[in-house]
Chain A
Amino acid sequence: MIDATLAEISRALESGKISSVELTKAYLDRIAQENADLNAYITVTEELALSQAEAADKSRSEGKAGAFTGIPIAHKDLFCTNGIRTSCGSKMLDNFIAPYDATVVDRFNTAGAVTLGKTNMDEFAMGSSNETSFYGPVKNPWDHSLVPGGSSGGSAAAVAARLCAGATATDTGGSIRQPASFSGITGIKPTYGRVSRWGMVAFASSLDQAGTMTQSAEDSAMMLNVMAGLDEKDSTCSTIDTEDYTANLNKPLEGLKIGLPVEHFSEGLSADMEKSIREAIAEFEKLGATVKDIHLPNSHLSVSAYYVIAPAEASANLSRYDGVRYGYRCENPVDLEDMYKRSRSEGFGAEVKRRIMVGTYALSAGYYDAYYRKAQKIRRLIKNDFQAAFEEVDVIMGPTSPHTAFAIGSQNDDPVTMYLEDIYTIAVNLAGLPGISIPAGFINNLPVGLQIVGKDFAEAQLLNVAHQFQQATDWHKKAPGE
């Protein structure tokens, strides 16, 4: 039963075929067997999970259960969970017991979900391989010598290895979509502002967005129904109404117009990957969609602009980690300046320090216009490109990642090589648009992800398009070790 999708589990719980306590115990057993190797979870919340499961079964017996009651999920360790360590994959917060629940966590708790634990991640969400975590790398369940992707590597691995029914995750430059593609699962990053960021530790405030990792688009829709919507405590959260994201999953795709950005099908893309992606796109044509080439002419500048904006915002957001009120404080500080400098240098890992330095530089006197302001202008051009494209097409498709999962430790020489991993995903965050990655094939037995990008607040359409593909193909049903 624990290999089942979230939707199947919901039905099994509803029909009484299984209880939440039995299901939760089964997941906890599997986590106990496999997590030492995969390292997908930083913290397993066994007691909490069992007490939530008992409460869910009781509520069901009283006729008060909803669609999500009793379903065991995991939260990326970037979401504050009251009374539970929230580490963000960092030594800086290894001792941080969050004093409140993030809105995302609170909404799942209210919906009756069961929290199995907190998943591993690149430190402060900075990375594309889950190798920068203070708690060690996460292994790709398809091949333990490979990375699962990052920064939400733990959530991706946990779902792929069936160590939870679904997981929350976050995406700033591709941190949901890229690990979803490396790990053979479905990951959606909603439109900026669709989901509350309150209690979600900030990396880059104009780019960060919470989303989901699941086995299918239908499962994503169920999770999004719980997560999405206005939160007064997050002033960047949109006031645009949410909808039932499961309602239109079955709408036929006849007449759907798909755009393929020529820039995403050029030199950087391997022949294998292009073949897989084009075969996947051909399935949509069988379903009645039409395909045309479109242009995103400023695509090639998206990584540059991102590596100014994101580090700049991160340098501001991470300035709160000063050893004063919470988190790591160095031993025997000589004076205040020593306390700040040593707490931060000892508490943060190398990649985080690197990005804080780049961000500080880009915002410093004399460089602000050349870097930060310039990057914001490039961001406007990138957004305009998407707007122009969406006058001609309904959705944009292409590879999520230039290749399949790479070996742990293989990309550590030059940070820029790692930054280019997000070449197809980053522009979507800059433009604030929704994007999903779905399993679309295999190359040498490693998962391939197809990225679908929509207009703002078009999550329902993205999920419909993905779901129709998942009715016609079975890539998303494959699991490691079969």
Chain B
Amino acid sequence: MSIELADVENIAHLARLHLTDGEKKEAADSMSNILKLIDQMQSVNTDNIEPLAHAFDSVQRLRDDKVTESNNRNELQKIAPESEEGLFLVPKVIE
């Protein structure tokens, strides 16, 4: 399975990454190599095997629906690139 430039562009957009033309070519090459490695998986039949998402097949633990956290917004927002009155500022989204 090899990767085309169009695939690279599509994936880069999904991942919100900006690649230069040189980087796109490089990405296509290295991804193709990695896919060759990954394709080895197809050599084994796994038809009746259950996927394993967690080493011990654990399920999400739940807790009581009670407030246990405190509101640390001001502390946590001190390190934001740009913020004002409790809001994080970003370039305008709506035209």
Which A residues have a C-beta under 8 Å from some C-beta of B?
A: 95-97, 99, 192-193, 206, 232, 235-236, 238, 298, 300-301, 303-305, 307-308, 315, 319, 322-326, 329, 333-342, 344-345, 348, 353-354, 356-358, 360-362, 364, 370-371, 373-381, 383, 414-416, 419, 430-433, 456
Contact = CB atoms under 8 A, between A and B. Distances in A.
Interface string B11-32: 1101111110000000100110
B68 to A, nearest CB: 9
B18 A301 contact: no
Contacts of B31: 354, 357-358, 361
Interface residues of B, number: 52
B41 A235 contact: no
B71 interface: no
B66 interface: no
Given A99-B75, A235-B61, A324 B37 contact: no
Contacts of B46: 374, 377-378, 381
Contacts of A414: 30, 33
Contacts of A335: 91-93
7 contacts: A235-B60, A308-B41, A334-B91, A361-B3, A380-B49, A414-B30, A416-B33
A300 B38 CA distance: 11
Contacts of A319: 15-16
Contact of A356 (B15, B41, B55, B56): B15
Contacts of A206: 53-55
Contacts of A326: 79-81
Interface of B: 3, 7-8, 11-12, 14-19, 27, 30-31, 33-34, 36-44, 46, 49-56, 58, 60-61, 63, 72, 75-82, 88, 90-93
A307 B18 contact: no
Secondary structure type dominating chain A contacts: helix
B91 A236 contact: no
A364 B14 contact: yes
Contacts of B53: 206, 376
A139 to B, nearest CB: 26
A360 B14 contact: yes
Given A304-B40, A364-B11, A380-B51, A341 B33 contact: no
Given A232-B63, A376-B53, A378-B41, 4 more contacts: A99-B79, A307-B34, A370-B42, A416-B37
Contacts of B55: 192-193, 206, 383, 430-433, 456
Contacts of B17: 341, 344-345, 348, 353, 356-357
Nearest to B47: A377
Contacts of A307: 34, 37-38
A373 B52 CA distance: 9
B52 A357 contact: no
A357 B44 contact: no
A264 B92 CA distance: 56
Given A206-B53, A232-B63, A341-B18, A375 B41 contact: yes
Nearest to B95: A335
B53 to A, nearest CB: 6
Contacts of A329: 81-82
Nearest to A372: B51
Given A206-B53, A339-B90, A415-B30, A301 B41 contact: yes
A456 B44 contact: no
A231 B80 CA distance: 28
Contact of A377 (B15, B51, B63, B81): B51
Nearest to B60: A235
Given A337-B16, A358-B31, A301 B40 contact: yes
B14 to A, nearest CB: 5
B5 to A, nearest CB: 13
Contacts of B63: 232
Contacts of A322: 16
A377 B46 CA distance: 6
A236 B58 contact: yes
